[in-house]
Amino acid sequence: MKPSDVPYVTRDIAGTGGRMRAQIDDFRVDEIPLYAPSGSGEHLYVTIEKRGLSTMDAADRLARALRLKRVAVGFAGLKDARAVTTQTFSLCGVDDRALDDFAADGMRVVGVTRHRNKLQRGHLAGNRFVIRVRDARPGSSADAERVLAVLAKRGVPNAFGEQRFGRDGQTHRLGRALLEPRAEAFVAILFGCGDVAREDALRRALDAKDVDAVRATVGALGRAERYALEDLVRSGGDCDAVVRRFDKALKALYASAFQSELFNEVLRRRFREFDRLIDGDLAWLHRNGAVFVVDDPRAEAARVDAFEISPSGPLVGSRMTWPRAAALELERSVLADAGIDDAALTRLPLPGARRPLRIPVTGVECRADGADLVVAFALPAGAYATTVMREIMKTESVDSAVSVDE
């Protein structure tokens, strides 16, 4: 089972099948801002429609065109390149007319205003998606509407998708290996590139500090992995030195992937009640992201039904707040089965947090367009559109490399 796999909420409703994102225009994302610009202030807010460009590419182009330092360009969230997206950027120290003649491939200015502060990551309420599914099963729009109705009522399981676990699906294993007392496990997975037999050979070579055998066994390495191999050679096979010197941002990414795997496992184990509270739950307040301990699930049931609150799951870390009673027992069992104790958590380079087990989907629409299906919906910031589309399509390979704002 892949770490991203969770059951279908709508398993009794047939999927539409089909292909998602066959073309750039098939996937549209429009930001839902957290607040409206005031119309005045030192920051120019520029709304851009971009095609085939990531957020970072667009920000770099704006900075170059306006001769700004990259730090002067702000944005609220990241958007994937393979889409048509409408996104707002803030520019500091720019005249109102600076963009009158702006032109760049794949970018079009659709709005300009001002505000007093720079856009920061998280200054986003959510995103609205319009997605075309090509070659859907004939007559499947009714089933898609039924799926959307269920999800609008119960919520969408807030699982982490495939993109969280890297191209080879190994990043969570690297994060888990960071908690091991011996660094050989991390280095073997890093150089093994997802090949179990190669990992075993690498572990034997690393245990023996046989650097020549390691170099002869490694797979195709990326830049960070090549640097790590150079460190291993220079240090005479010292895996601890490799981990100490390894890129901190990448180690945090791997640790985050391991958090995500554990969260998904908690979600799987309580899937029948992902939209119901149990004793000791830490309930998530959707209006502000705060949590509180639930002593009596029945007393809070009406607020759950109204989508004011939802059960939360762990993004484990040394300073994460734990639930109580039955919820604590379930979460602790997931860690125990993964071989993780409190001492290991202190080695995780992330403090931990809580995350809702479900998310609301709103503004749902669905229509047939010839052989295609067009689906529209809105999700809060940080949510994956594929959590909705996998329920609708029920194919084995729903493209999950979609934009996410976290």
Active site residues: 80
Indicate the SS3 state at residue 239: helix
Edge to edge, what strands does the sheet with 291-293 contain? 291-293, 282-285, 309-315, 353-356
108, β-bridge pairs: 49
Asked whether 266 and 273 are in contact (CB, 8 A), the reply is no
Distance between the two ends of the chain, CA-based, in angstroms? 26
Asked whether 343 and 318 are in contact (CB, 8 A), the reply is no
Tokens 């502060």 belong to 117
Q: What is the spatial distance between Cα 59 and Cα 272, in angstroms, rounded to a whole number?
A: 43
Asked whether 195 and 219 are in contact (CB, 8 A), the reply is yes
45, β-bridge pairs: 90, 113
Q: What is the spatial distance between Cα 375 and Cα 405, in angstroms, rounded to a whole number?
A: 20
Burial grade of 49 (CB within 10 A; 0-12, 13-18, 19 or more): middle
Which candidate, 174, 166, 175, 213, places its Cα nearest to that of 190?
174
State the DSSP H helix or E strand holding residue 302, giving kind and residue range, or none if neither.
Answer: helix 301-305
Count other Cβ atoms within 10 Å, centred on residue 138: 10
Count other Cβ atoms within 10 Å, centred on residue 288: 6
- 138, two tokens: 């004939």
- 19, two tokens: 């292909």
- Which spans in 78-222 are helix H? 141-154, 171-177, 184-192, 196-207, 211-217
Q: What's the one-letter identity of residue 57?
A: D
Asked whether 83 and 24 are in contact (CB, 8 A), the reply is yes
Asked whether 37 and 45 are in contact (CB, 8 A), the reply is yes
